[in-house]
């Protein structure tokens, strides 16, 4: 007997990195029984101390959960977790919901849905925006692709993780929406970095300029979040550059397939590639300012 129509209780979570750890914690706080797997067990220690149940592999976790959330690094990781004999789809219970919150390829989201459907397993692609702060505060924006009935069943999980949750279409629609998000962010962060570099180079008090322009038309989430970090030399990752490069690559591939040119995105990607080549791929995206400094190592 499947679990369709039953209340979701046992929730699997795979990927307890910068964002996943906070997100998993919110599910514990919301009263769900949390089951964990992570390639690095040490990163799950705090959650296990809070009552989460550790599993040694994906298959054993999948078999006991009403729903499983994944947020891993790259599409290749998504494939490994979902597909194959030891993956989620092969081992999940009929009626279970599998929710991938990784930023990944829309085509892979559709493949996962098509593979899961004949087994009576439901899927959603639900990438998020808001970074480590949104994950920590439970205020993520969640972009969802999949069937409406599955989306509504999963809403108690999404409600524990974010403030804005929208179903945007069928399988793959969530990933396409996340590409829109990343396209906008890529150009915006480049503009913030160049604005801060200009302010410094012409001798203005950059903090004072930031205070003024933040109340005008230039104000926005990226200016508020990234500019103070840039000016303070805080390049710690809220979102890794190497993950952002992955996202921009997916967006450019999808755009090319649709015959759409995105020159701003291509330029932003090239600038981040320069930064990664200097050894800063594990910095946060605000580290783009380094390229505009006299010494990018500062």
165 three-state secondary structure: strand
Residue 281, CA distances (Å) to 193, 284, 286 in order = 17, 8, 12
- Token couple for 188: 């915006």
Beta bridge mates, 167: 144
The conformation of residue 95, written as its DSSP 8-state character, comes to: T
Note the residue count of the chain. 298
- State the angle between helix axes of 173-201 and 206-213 in degrees (0 to 180), rounded to the nearest 10: 130
Q: Please indicate whether residue 246 is annotated as part of the active site.
A: no
Q: Which of 178, 229, 246, 269 is catalytic?
A: 178
Determine contact, residues 8/156, Cβ cutoff 8 Å: yes
Determine contact, residues 39/49, Cβ cutoff 8 Å: no
90 three-state secondary structure: helix
Report which of 41, 38, 33 is spatially closest to residue 66, judged by C-alpha positions: 33
How far is 243 from 119, CA to CA, in rounded Å? Answer: 32
- Token couple for 172: 């793959």
201 three-state secondary structure: helix
CA angle at residue 182 from 168 to 283, to 5 degrees? 140
Q: Please give the positions annotated as active site.
A: 178
């Amino acid at each position: 007997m499947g679990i369709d129509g039953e209340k979701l209780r046992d929730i699997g979570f795979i990927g307890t990195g910068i964002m996943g750890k906070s997100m998993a914690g919110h599910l514990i706080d919301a009263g769900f029984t949390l089951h964990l797997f992570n390639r690095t067990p040490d990163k799950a220690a705090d959650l296990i101390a809070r009552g989460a149940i550790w599993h040694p592999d994906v298959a054993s976790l999948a078999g006991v959960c009403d729903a499983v959330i994944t947020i891993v690094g790259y599409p290749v990781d998504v494939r490994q977790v979902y597909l194959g004999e030891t993956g989620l789809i092969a081992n999940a219970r009929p009626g279970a919901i599998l929710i991938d919150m990784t930023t990944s390829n829309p085509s892979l989201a559709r493949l996962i849905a098509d593979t899961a459907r004949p087994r009576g397993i439901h899927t959603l692609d639900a990438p998020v925006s808001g970074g480590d702060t949104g994950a920590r505060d439970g205020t993520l924006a969640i972009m969802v692709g999949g069937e409406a009935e599955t989306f509504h069943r999963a809403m108690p999980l999404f409600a524990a993780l974010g403030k804005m949750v929208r179903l945007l279409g069928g399988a793959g629609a969530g990933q396409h929406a996340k590409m829109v998000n990343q396209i906008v962010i890529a150009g915006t962060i480049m503009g913030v970095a160049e604005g801060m570099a200009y302010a410094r180079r012409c001798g203005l008090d950059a903090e004072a300029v930031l205070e003024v322009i933040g109340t005008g038309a230039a104000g926005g989430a990226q200016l508020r979040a990234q500019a103070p970090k840039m000016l303070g030399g805080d390049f710690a990752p809220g979102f890794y550059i190497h993950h952002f490069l992955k996202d921009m690559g997916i967006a450019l591939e999808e755009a090319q397939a649709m015959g759409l040119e995105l020159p701003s995105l291509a330029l932003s990607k090239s600038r981040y590639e320069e930064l990664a080549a200097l050894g800063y791929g594990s910095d946060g995206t605000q580290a783009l300012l380094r390229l505009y400094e006299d010494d990018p190592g500062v």
